[in-house]
Chain A
Amino acid sequence: MKRRGMDLSLADYPAPQIRSIERRLFLKQSLSLGALALLSGCDLTDDERVQTALSAMSRWNDGVQAWLFDPNKLAPEYPASAITKPFPFNAYYSELEVREVDATSYKLELAGRIRDPKPWTLPELYALPQTSQITRHICVEGWSAIGKWGGVRFSTFLERIGADLSAKYVGFKCADDYYSSIDMATALHPQTLLAFTYADQVLPPKYGFPMKLRVPTKLGFKNPKHIMAMFVTNIYPGGYWEDQGYNWFSGS
């Protein structure tokens, strides 16, 4: 009589089938060990070699996300009725500590792989063709909010300044000391804006006056506020949170 279930022993299986079971067990155990290692906490992850390995994994992740990024796929847009009121303030400092940039003396500084790196005043920037969008801002902290931003398409601005559009990165330096960078494909995405307005009003200081980068295809921390300078480069520029271990590409 043929034995079933618990009655079966490995000896009843042919050798190739046993090898296959052993391989599966080995893979399962390896995955469990890997997961356990990640879950075992800070002592392990504080180790420099582990940090290096995790950074390498994150950079690999960036590469995969960049490969998967479709420059023509648009982020969802919403009706005005969907706008979140009030739009949340979020920064590494309190609302009372928001930097107020002097509009009259403001000049956007440019550097790197740019043919015409002359600084731009606000009236010059406002004179560029403007557009607006109602999109969702998604924060890595786990919340999201819908808002209306207006400004010039970043691709238009990059073309106007003679940026090397084949370069890899665009970096930003902000009045609140924050810094970040994005990949060129995202910079040229049709919904990536150099935003000067929020809800059809000049961008208030708490939302990043005189301008913020609005990138609806990326997480909130990839949308720098109070931009004072930008540069185009082939050298990986990182960013404040990115250098602390947050994923650099951070698509939303």
Chain B
Amino acid sequence: MFRHTDGLPFMVRDRTTNGRETVRPSIPQYERTRITGRAFLRAAGSVTAAIALTADLGALAAAEPQTTQAIEPMKMDESMSGEMKKKGMKKGDVKKAAEKKEREMKGAIEREEKSMPQGATK
């Protein structure tokens, strides 16, 4: 913070970055520069924080083992390709069926896994 000094209308009392009190000429241009500088530093800080956060999220995403992408996202409401389909079958049906099967099988597979003696074989 800076404020005008008593009796010295062209001087302002201010604090240096290490906290020491100082007096300097009140030059509007200089003050604007300082304000701009502070705004710049704040913005730079925000940008740095944003980059750091993005990097963290990126690292988390990289830790996900099953990331997939396609040239084009699958059009789930479109009719299936190929000759195996039956009337009315859509691409999204496979995902729905897979999720249903997962729900049906999960518990039993886990129980089977627990029933096995565990041990490294690699």
Contacts and interface: CB of A to CB of B under 8 A. Distances in A.
A24 interface: no
Contacts of A105: 62-67
Interface in B10-67: 62-67
A160 B121 contact: yes
Decide if the interface of chain B is mainly helix, strand, loop or mixed.
loop
B103 interface: no
Contact of B65 (A106, A117, A178, A221): A106
Contacts of B64: 105
Contacts of A90: 82
B112 A96 contact: no
B68 to A, nearest CB: 4
A92 B94 contact: yes
A13 to B, nearest CB: 51
Given A93-B81, A116-B118, A240 B97 contact: yes
Contacts, number: 137
6 contacts: A97-B70, A101-B67, A102-B68, A112-B109, A141-B84, A233-B108
Given A111-B113, A113-B115, A176-B74, 12 more contacts: A92-B85, A92-B91, A97-B74, A101-B66, A109-B66, A112-B112, A115-B121, A116-B118, A116-B119, A117-B118, A140-B84, A241-B84
Interface of B: 62-75, 80-86, 89, 91, 94-95, 97-98, 101-102, 105, 108-110, 112-113, 115-122
List the 3 shortest-distance A-B pairs measured between CB atoms, nearest first. A141-B83, A162-B121, A107-B65
